[in-house]
Structure formats: C-alpha cells, structure tokens
Chains A and B, each alone.
Chain A
Amino acid sequence: MTDSKYFTTTKKGEIFELKAELNSDKKEKKKEAVKKVIASMTVGKDVSALFPDVVNCMQTDNLELKKLVYLYLMNYAKSQPDMAIMAVNTFVKDCEDPNPLIRALAVRTMGCIRVDKITEYLCEPLRKCLKDEDPYVRKTAAVCVAKLHDINAQLVEDQGFLDTLKDLISDSNPMVVANAVAALSEIAESHPSSNLLDLNPQSINKLLTALNECTEWGQIFILDCLANYMPKDDREAQSICERVTPRLSHANSAVVLSAVKVLMKFMEMLSKDLDYYSTLLKKLAPPLVTLLSAEPELQYVALRNINLIVQKRPEILKHEMKVFFVKYNDPIYVKLEKLDIMIRLASQANIAQVSAGELKEYATEVDVDFVRKAVRAIGRCAIKVEQSAERCVSTLLDLIQTKVNYVVQEAIVVIKDIFRKYPPTSRYESVIATLCENLDSLDEPEARAAMIWIVGEYAERIDNADELLESFLEGFHDESTQVQLQLLTAIVKLFLKKPTETQELVQQVLSLATQDSDNPDLRDRGYIYWRLLSTDPVAAKEVVLAEKPLISEETDLIEPTLLDELICYIGTLASVYHKPPSAFVEGSRGVVHKSLPPRTGSSESAESPEAAPTGAPPGEQPAVIPAQGDLLGDLLNLDLGPPVTGPPLSTAPVQMGAVDLLGGGLDSLMGDEAEGPRGDVSGSPAMGGTNFAAPPAGTMPANLGGPIGGGLGDLFDLTSGVGSLSGSYVAPKAVWLPAMKAKGLEISGTFTRQVGSISMDLLLTNKALQVMSDFAIQFNRNSFGLAPAAPLQVHAPLSPNQTVEISLPLNTVGSVMKMDPLNNLQVAVKNNIDVFYFSTLYPLHILFVEDGKMERQTFLATWKDIPNENEAQFQIKDCPLNAEAVSSKLQASNIFTIAKRNVEGQDMLYQSLKLTNSIWVLAELRVQPGNPNLTLSLKCRAPEVSQHVYQAYETILKN
C-alpha cells in the first residue's frame, strides 16, 4: 500500500471518477481522492478541472485533508483566480481558529496564493496574526509579510506591516525574532535604500540574545544581519565577537561560515596588539578546517571562501597546509580549489610539506585540467619561495621526462616564468638543453611561445639557437599571433647577440612580419625593430637586451578593495564567484557597497579626531581606494587623484534636471521682461540715493519698495571700490566674456563674499561703436541655487569705450540643478543688441557661511560617522605658512579651526566649514614646519564637493 497506487488508473474517465470520489460522503474516500489529485499534480498532470470539487473539501476538521487541499490551492489558484475566491471565507475563518496550528497554516497558505483578489483579504487576518498570542503564529505571520511584499510591496508599506515587523525584532520569542530578521532582510534586499534594519546597540543586544536560543536557520539569518552592523568602537566589536564565537562549534556549516563572516569583519576594528585578537585568530582555524571534512558540495563553497580568507589573513591557516592535500577521489572542483589555496599558503616555513613531491604526485594524475594546474602550481611555488626553486625545477624536468604531451607543454611555460624570476645561472644550463630536446612535441601556442622566448633570451648559451628558431620560421604564417610576436623578438635578440651568423635570419623574419602579415601588432613591432636596427644597432642592443625587471610572486591576488568587499560577503554567492553582488545578482537595484569597518581605538578617539579612521593601517595593505565598484573605476581614480565622479549627492538638496540653458529660464529673459520670474530686471532706484538710476527701457513693474537685496547691492557698490574689508579672499577679475564673442561687450568679473553676502563684481566695457543699454542678467539653474538677488543696474547707457563697474548681489535661493563641474555657473546677459551667454566657475569659498564652526564633540562624531570612502586627500604645494597664519587666513574665508594638535612636530589643524546649502565639510590639515607642502584630508557626506573645497583652500592660502 504505497502512494504509487494513486498513479495507476485503469479507465479513461479518470477525472470523472475523481470528481465523484471527491463529492463522496465518506471522509476517507474524499481524502483518498484528494491524495490522488495531489499525486497527479506532482507529476505535472493537469487536474485543475477539479478545482471546485477540491475546494469543497476544504471545510473539514481533518487537518491532513485540509493541508492537502491547501497544497492543491497553492498550485492552481493562480490559474483559476475567480474560483480561488471561494476559498477566502474558509481562510479567514481558519485564521480565527482556536488551534494555533490551524491559524498559522491558514495565514501561511494565504500568503502563498499569488492572486490579487485573495491578497486583499489577507491584510486583516495577517495583522491579527502578527499580534497573535501564540509565538508559532507570530513567526509564521512574519514570513508572510515577506511573501506579501513580494506580491504587492506598496500594499505592505501602506498597511504599516513593515513597522509591525520591525517591532517583532524585540519579540520575547527567539524564533519570532529570527523570522522577523529573515523577512526584513529579504525585503531590504529589494529595497537597498530603505533603512529597514536599523541596527543600534540595543537591537544588537536583542539579536545576540536570540542568537543563542533560536534554531540553526534562525542563527544564520541573525548572523548575516549582524554582519551588516557597524560597531561604534573596538570594545563593542570585541564584545560582539565574544558572543558570536561559540557559533563556530555549530554542526551546521552555514552557521559556522556566517559566524566566520561576522568575526572576519569585526576583527578589522580590533587592535592587533590585543591578546583577544590573537586568541580569535587561533579560534578561526579549526572550524574552517572542519568544513573540509563535510560533503563535497559544502567543501567547495567552504574552499572558495577560505581562498578569500587566506588572502586577507594568511596567518589563520598558515599551519594547516596539509588539510588541503588532495585525495585522488575528491571531485575535480574540490581538487582545483584545494590546489589554489595550497599555492597561496606556500611559504618558506611550510614549503617542505608541499614541496615538489606532493605536487608532483598530482601532476601524474589522470585528470588533464588538474594535472595542468598542478604543474603550474609547482612553478608558482618556485617563484614564491626561492629556496624551493631548485627542487621545483628538477621536479619539472622529471615531469618533462615522462613525455606526456600536456605535462611537457605546461612545464615549459612554467619554467619560462621561473627564469623570469631567477635568471638562470650556469647550473641551469642543462635545463635549457633538456627543454630544447622537446621542441618538436610542442603544439600549444603558449608552450611554443614560451620555448621561443627561452631560446631568444638565452641565445648565447644555446649553440644551435639559430637552427632552432629557423625551424619555427618555416611555418611562420600558420602560427598564432602569440608565437609570431615571440619569434620576431627572439630572432632580433639572437641577432643582437650573434650578429655575424644570423643576418639572413633576421631579415627574413622582419620581412615576414612587416610585409607578409596583416596583423597590426606584428607589423608595428616589426617596423620598430627594423628601424631600431637600421638607425643605431648599439642603441637597439641597449633597448632590446636591456635587463628586465623580475616578475613578482603574487600575480593573481584579488585586488584589495574588492577583497575587502568580498570579505563582507563571506558565505554568499558573491564569495563563490569572487565578484561583488552588484556584478551578477539580478534585480539588485543600487546595491549598497559594503566595506570593512576601520580600526579604531576607543581610548584615544575621545581626545582627538586624529584617531579617527583613515582607512586601513599603513603598511598593512595598499592605500584604501574609495570603493567605486569596479577596478577600472579605481584605476581612473588613482590616476586622476581625488574622485571626480562619485555617487550622487545624498544629503545636498540637489535636484537632477535636464540641462535647460536655452529653455524656459532664458525665454523669459529674452521675451517679456515685465514678467521676469523674480522681477530680476526691476532696476528700482531704491534706497541707495547716491546712485543715479536710469529708467529701464522696458515697461517695468514700478517696484518701488524694491527688494532689500537691491539696496544692499547698492551699498556694496560703494564699498567695492574701497576694497574688501576683512572678507573672504577675492580673486582678481578675469575676462568672462570677450568682446569678440559678444558684439563688443566685454565682461570681466569676480565673486566676493562679505559679511554674509555674496556678490558678483562685474566690469562691463563697451568696445563696440554704438551705445549699449537695457542690461539684464540671468543665471541658469546651478548646483547651489545661486541667483541674482537684485537686477543688474547699469545706471546710464554705456557709450563706446566706456567701462562701468557693478556689484551684483547674489543669493542662494534659486533653483538647483547639479552642474558639471559642480561650481559651473551659466550666465546670460542681455543688452539692447543681443543676448550673450557665458559660463564661469565660481570659487567655492563664496559659499562658506559664517556659522560654519562646529562643536568639537559634534566634529568628532561627524568625522567618525562619515564613511571612509568619502575621505579625500590633497596636497597643497608651496605654501610656506605656519599654522597660525594658515588658520587666520582661512578663518577670514569662513573656514574655522576647531582644534589644533601637535603630533611629532607637525601641526594638525581640524577645521570645519559649512556651505550655503548646509553641507558640512570637515578637514584635517597637516602643517609641517620647514615643509612648504600641506596635506589636506577632507571628509564630507557629499564627496563631490571635496575637490572644489580643496581648490578653495589652495586659492585662499596662496593669496
């Protein structure tokens, strides 16, 4: 009596028969019938026609029957949405059942039915179940929120389920906590920006408590969630580590690996001198090794992760080389990974264990891929550990003696690399001879190219080098490019070493490369050699035979920024593929880059911001480059210095809009001025009094009250001639609009900031032959919303060759649009002749506001709070000022020094400034007596401004 009986049918009217049975009065018969239906369903038979009959069986007190009907419903509801609605009543009723098992089952099943009509009815029961007295129901309901979110995210947000879910993190039952975390994590994955899992020390504490008591799966969810937390200092990091460490002894390997992730991440913050740090290192090794005794699939994932861990912290597994030794019946994917890790672990201390012996054993195995990799591994060991080189070479020679074709080829490629690291001395002479014997058997391009390279490089030691190379030359055109290029170079080298007997050969190869080939690389290289040789053979010798730098030992390490990011993803698919999730996970919209926490010392940080994180400790690894996603981005950044294009401004109120220079804004300028958007051209002869205002040409609104700005502008008109009073640095006026481009109107100008007001000082010169009048000015939208606070007032028509000086007051309440570069300002000026456009860059310091002095404490907190990748460093060269002078000079431009410290003879100035749009920029300026160069580190939540702030610094300090 097994379930296979449900598959056997004798008659054709199977569905009909089932229908009859489903409607039977006998419970037992009904149940059997539903089982038959389910059995048919599992093998893909269409039994949807029975939908109403099956749903009729739903109202039963037999739980098994109910569950079976639910199974059926979940499968077919989608295809029969109208009929599925029949089931809703029963669901809703079941959600009120006194038996918690049934309540939970009902809410769980409803969530699985992906039919909108049913989803609508789910909200009320779900809300109740989330607050159910029974934790089993609550934990089921928590998962149901994630299901619902998957079906209809908006509904979940509107109904406030997310908040209820967040509350469940503080539930008294650990299983409920774990499921709430799991549900929130899943929802957060599709909404990376939403701050769903807002972790703070209190919630962390709750999670850590739940961690000890929930099931293994719950532990995985909680650990993965913990890994996203950023502890505030090393003490907190240590205490979390202490509470996570017991998880390393869990029988479930996924729990172990998630715990490893948390520890690896938080370890970053611990000081290496700490006893606890070394204890932790010791504790990490055994569980990692234990993972390797699990099933091969688990081993594979573990090995991929160990590969990362070994690169980040080789010290953890440095004594465990042997556990990576390959067993002949390991699956191939495990073998290859083990080998990779063995090479990474190889060092002088353990080379004797691997030595060539173990690897040689692998090189005689059956599997071709593995054998090749083993041969490569021998070479890598030699390159990495000099002491082993000789032994490795002799092992490789032994392998060459086996005459197994692919082994020989691989060995030759490897020996070439060994030579590039340790140029052969006399003791390798015999090696070269052995290699030459195998010339004929090489059929892979890489091996042929390697062999040719060896012959060319050591031509002087090979008596018949010319014959060997000549033999290759015969089939020159059939060779791959790699071999052709190598052959060309090798023959040129040979010629330079033994010019007398090889002249013919070199001519032959040069003509083959330059005349008979289409390959641009080959032709170009051929011509280079040719010209070198014909112009100056001595120089050619110096160039071609120059000593080459030795190759480095680690060539395939993961780039450090990527490695750091991957360490944050230990245990995930990203760690298996060694790519950040953004590179491959579908639908990961705007994935947030994770980064390792910086090392901090809580004891010092209270005293000075100097202890604030500045990336990884020096000497530990290459300078941390702002995480930009891909390597290419990083390279560009390296070259260009500070990041120019970062992620979009997050805090600055900048709206992205279409570039609209010629659009609406200007239309209004050119068109009916009377309707100018802000009465820009009102030109009222307001309070100034001293000014003699000319009546504007157009029909102006008689704005007699006049904007206050206008009056102020007039006041400044008076002062601008006197020179700046203790205000910000003012750059000399520069020509913005040459006369040639503007039908005779030349505009030069500069920006000033005095006592809280920004103005644009303009010099208008009429170089035309006619009188100019009717001046007006308008700005395009710009990054900081700069706009004229008053109309442009030119009090009299400008006669030819006349110059007028005007100060235009500005405010920062205009519309905002991000510009590139950030401080670009596009201006339109109109006069009676035409409209002219120009753009200019304003110095950022005109935007530094007077109340930009931060509290010391706030400064410390903010500095820490701003992620490290936002930090930018600059050099200000040739500025021989002392700290006081620097400080006072900057203060005049509203850059405030908050604290000053003397560290080892250097003055560290901690400064803050605030932009008009309330962006704070924090700075650390290092002044060394006797060194005219200053080092400036800037931290800001909107890292784009850093570059411009730096320019402002430079401008202010140098003038």
Chain B
Amino acid sequence: MIHSLFLINCSGDIFLEKHWKSVVSQSVCDYFFEAQEKAADVENVPPVISTPHHYLISIYRDKLFFVSVIQTEVPPLFVIEFLHRVADTFQDYFGECSEAAIKDNVVIVYELLEEMLDNGFPLATESNILKELIKPPTILRSVVNSITGSSNVGDTLPTGQLSNIPWRRAGVKYTNNEAYFDVIEEIDAIIDKSGSTVFAEIQGVIDACIKLSGMPDLSLSFMNPRLLDDVSFHPCIRFKRWESERVLSFIPPDGNFRLISYRVSSQNLVAIPVYVKHNISFKENSSCGRFDITIGPKQNMGKTIEGITVTVHMPKVVLNMNLTPTQGSYTFDPVTKMLTWDIGKITPQKLPSLKGLVNLQSGAPKPEENPSLNIQFKIQQLAISGLKVNRLDMYGEKYKPFKGVKYITKAGKFQVRT
C-alpha cells in the first residue's frame, strides 16, 4: 500500500513529506528527478517509475508533483486516484492547491493526511466526513478559536463514517433549502485540415450543489435518458433504479459534488459549433510566412458562442508574429512560442479574423509541420448533446426545496489541424 508521500514544487524542492509506515529517505526522490530531467516537459514525466527498492507513482497537479512511494504490488490506479483525492481535498480546504497554501496550513495538511490514510489504507476521503473531523480554516474560526480556546478538530465520530450512506452527515439544517444542478458538456474534437471531423465526443458531467435539510431522497429524471449509455456514478446513486427505470435516485451528500459523468460518442450526434478557416504557410528560403485564421459559428442551435480563445503552439523557428485581429486581442510569447488570441463573442455579421506575417529565424529550414489550433469557447443554456432534465422529485422530507438546472457547453480538447 502507499508508503510515503512527497510534495515537490516545480523547482524541485521537496517541501512536505509524510510517511505512513517506516520512514523512507528523501533520496528516493532522486529517481524522480532523474526521470523529470529526461522528460523535456513537466507534463511528460511518466506516472510510474521503478527504482531498485520502490515504485514511485506520481501525479502532476496545479504545478505540484505528488509523489508517492510504493513497496509492494498495489493497483497504480488506486494510488493515482487517491493522490488526486488528496489534491482535491487541499483545494476544498484551502481554496487552492498551491505550495503557499499547503505551507500556510501545514498542521492541518498533516492532520488531513493522517486522517485520509492509515497504514497505507484509505480511511476517510469523503469531504463531508473530513470536514466533520477537521474543520477547514476560516479567518473567523481562527479568531474565535484563539479567544475561546476551542479546537478545530471534531471530537465525535462522524456520523456518516459507518452508515450505509457514508457520504452524508446527519443533522444537516438549512433555512433555505436549495438543490442546483449544472449540466456541463465539453466537446472533445479533432478537426482535420479540410474542416471535416476526425473524431468528436462529448464529455458531460452533472455537478450538483445540494443544500437540503435532513435526509432528502431525490429522483432526477431526464427527457431523453437514452443518450446516457456510458455513465459513471457517484456512489450515492442507486444503480438498480437506473438500470430498470433510467431514473437517478439518490440521497445526496451535503454541498457540492459530481453526481454523474457521461460520454456521448457516436459521431453524428456531436454538433460542432464553430468552424475555422485557416491559411498558415511558410515560404521556402525566406524568413517569413503568412498566418490567416477566421472563425465562424456552425451548428450553434441559435445560441451565442462566447469566451472564444484560440491558442497555437507555433514551431520553434518562429521568432515573432505581426498580426492584426479584427476583434479581441492577441499575444505571442516568443519564449514558449504560444500564440493566444482572445476573441470573446462571435457576431455572425462580422466574423473575427487574425491575419498577418510570421517572422522566422533566418537560415533555418522551414518547419515541416503546421501547428494545430486549440480552441476554447462556451455556450450558455445549451447542452450540445440535447440532454434535458425532466423533473426532480424529493421524498423523505416535508419542506419544498428550491430547484434549479443550468446547462452549459464548453470546448474540451478541441483541436483543429492545419
């Protein structure tokens, strides 16, 4: 099981270590640094590294490496999932998962790590339970604590810990009872040079924010549940009801959580909301090239497309770019060779475009590959797959909750090859 954890920042400092069994020397991280050096990019460090006596399984999140040390055969996915859970918890507790936040709260971090894992076995990882055991830091609480001398560690056994619904704490009380659902869909797509879709799928999630008193039992039904044939559920969902009736029936955790995630893949179902016209070319034996892209709406279901950003990783030989946008603003970082064009909304009357010259390093051979365009956008009030919530019913409690559903479509990994 998980033996030790090292937190390492981008400059290679180990700024926190925690051991759940015997102490493993920091020097084990040398193997990690070696691998890091070999991988040109931080993102390319392999997640599983073997060393003579241990295995290092790591994740890279928020510019930090979470490196765990393993000594026996353990499912690596288990370790990776757990590490992500640790990062999520820090995020949840401190508002951000950064070196500064962790150092500022080092004692809480230690308490959390101790509570999350025992002898390498996960103990309590549900945010609801952890928050009962160790209260998150707030300015108010630290003031109150220092006056009253009370502690920020709960001293009773969390109620949810052993019940059949470990994700929910008992005795939840709200004056305003609310249940909100965000249906968020991301389009992952690869569009080829000619504009046809090579690959497209929708990754959807339904995130919930539930603030309901007592033990509410909810049923969420859809107009078109057939769309959901590949789903991953939060443990609270009753699988049998879904199998038989295609209804999501559950007793929710308190607060924010991800209810389901799903994937819609058959290609004809995926509408591509934008198109790109592009003309990027580099002249042979000359130190310049042309760059010209235009973006327009395609199948946008009559909604406005907003928050459009295009990022392009230009080839290494590009020195600088001289462009004029008809809309928005652009930046080019000559060090990382990243071109970012922030467009905003598309108005169909006048399509945004970005044109100009590319300066190349003189004498260098012209780049043989054209860069891919990475596009970000957002469409409010639309789930591009067509998924629609039908109704939400609540059982088990008497009050009338306020209910709301929001839809949003975003670009996920949306790439256009040129």
Contacts and interface: CB of A to CB of B under 8 A. Distances in A.
Contact of B77 (A173, A249, A257): A257
A91 B121 CA distance: 22
Nearest to B243: A246
A287 B190 contact: no
Contacts, number: 247
B73 A332 contact: no
A39 B111 contact: no
B204 to A, nearest CB: 10
A331 B48 CA distance: 14
Contacts of A249: 231-233, 239
A227 B413 CA distance: 36
Contact of B234 (A189, A251, A258, A585): A251
A46 to B, nearest CB: 13
B74 interface: yes
Contacts of A183: 121
Given A1-B142, A136-B162, A179-B121, A293 B263 contact: yes
Nearest to A32: B146
Interface string B7-46: 0000000011100111100000000000000010101101
Nearest to B230: A286
A143 B73 contact: no
Contact of A3 (B103, B126, B143, B258): B103
A296 interface: yes
Contacts of A100: 157
Interface of B: 1, 15-17, 20-23, 39, 41, 43-44, 46-48, 50, 53, 55, 57-60, 70-78, 80-82, 84, 103-108, 110-111, 114, 118-119, 121-122, 125-126, 137, 139, 142-143, 146, 149, 151-157, 161-162, 164, 166, 188, 190, 192, 198-199, 201, 203, 229-235, 239-240, 243, 258, 261, 263, 265, 267, 313, 315-316, 368-369, 372, 374, 413, 415, 417
A586 B70 CA distance: 11
B232 A99 contact: no
B106 A27 contact: no
Contacts of B199: 322-323, 325
A323 B265 contact: yes
B169 to A, nearest CB: 15
A135 interface: yes
B369 A64 contact: no
Given A64-B152, A249-B233, A585-B73, A289 B265 contact: yes
B78 A220 contact: yes
B39 A298 contact: no
A44 B316 CA distance: 43
Contacts of B139: 1
B78 A217 contact: yes
Given A108-B118, A251-B261, A581 B73 contact: yes
Nearest to B147: A28
Nearest to B101: A2
Interface of A: 1-4, 6-7, 27-28, 31, 35, 38-39, 42-44, 62-65, 67-68, 71, 78, 99-101, 108, 111-112, 114, 134-136, 139-140, 143-144, 146-147, 150, 173, 175, 179, 182-183, 186, 189, 213, 215-217, 220, 224, 246, 249-254, 256-258, 286-287, 289-290, 293, 295-298, 300-302, 322-323, 325, 327-329, 331-333, 357-358, 361, 364-366, 402, 404, 571-574, 576-577, 581, 584-588
Contacts of B53: 586
B263 A290 contact: yes
Contacts of B146: 1, 28
A251 B233 contact: yes
B81 A252 contact: yes
Nearest to A114: B22
25 contacts: A1-B146, A4-B106, A38-B107, A64-B152, A134-B157, A136-B157, A136-B162, A147-B21, A179-B121, A189-B72, A215-B125, A215-B166, A246-B240, A251-B261, A290-B232, A293-B188, A301-B47, A328-B415, A331-B43, A332-B39, A333-B44, A573-B55, A581-B73, A586-B53, A587-B72
A189 B75 CA distance: 14
Nearest to B54: A586
A300 to B, nearest CB: 5
Nearest to A248: B232
A374 to B, nearest CB: 12
Contacts of A112: 20-21, 119
B43 A296 contact: yes
Given A293-B188, A573-B55, A302 B77 contact: yes
Given A290-B232, A584-B50, A146 B119 contact: yes
Contacts of B59: 295, 297
Contacts of A101: 155-157
B398 to A, nearest CB: 28
A573 B413 contact: no
B122 A217 contact: yes
B104 A2 contact: yes
Given A4-B103, A63-B151, 9 more contacts: A100-B157, A217-B78, A289-B265, A293-B203, A301-B76, A328-B313, A328-B415, A332-B41, A357-B192
A358 B191 CA distance: 11
Nearest to A221: B121
A300 B58 CA distance: 12
B80 A572 contact: no
A586 B72 CA distance: 7
A250 B74 contact: no
Q: Which of A150, A257, A290, A357 has the most CB of B within 10 A?
A: A290
B155 A63 contact: yes
Contacts of B368: 364, 402, 404
Given A4-B104, A136-B162, A253-B81, A325 B198 contact: yes
B-side interface mostly: mixed
A2 B105 contact: yes
Given A63-B151, A290-B230, A71 B76 contact: no
A295 B80 contact: yes
B396 to A, nearest CB: 19
B59 to A, nearest CB: 5
A295 B83 CA distance: 12
Given A111-B119, A295-B59, A42 B156 contact: no
Nearest to A62: B151
A360 to B, nearest CB: 11
Contacts of B1: 182, 186
Contacts of A6: 106-107
Given A108-B118, A173-B162, A186-B1, A67 B153 contact: yes
B149 to A, nearest CB: 5
A366 B372 CA distance: 11
Given A100-B157, A586-B71, A298 B77 contact: yes
Nearest to B259: A251
B161 A136 contact: yes
Contacts of A63: 151, 153-155
Contacts of A361: 192, 417
A143 B119 contact: yes
A587 B54 CA distance: 11
B47 A254 contact: no
Given A4-B103, A217-B78, A573 B16 contact: no
A416 to B, nearest CB: 23
A134 B158 CA distance: 13
A246 B239 contact: yes
A301 B48 contact: yes
10 closest A-B pairs by beta carbon, nearest first, are A64-B153, A286-B230, A2-B104, A64-B151, A297-B47, A254-B77, A217-B122, A63-B155, A254-B78, A364-B369
Given A147-B119, A217-B121, A588 B73 contact: yes
A99 B78 contact: no
Given A31-B151, A286-B230, A325-B190, A216 B21 contact: no
B191 to A, nearest CB: 12
A67 B77 contact: no
B80 to A, nearest CB: 5
Contact of B229 (A147, A286, A325, A571): A286
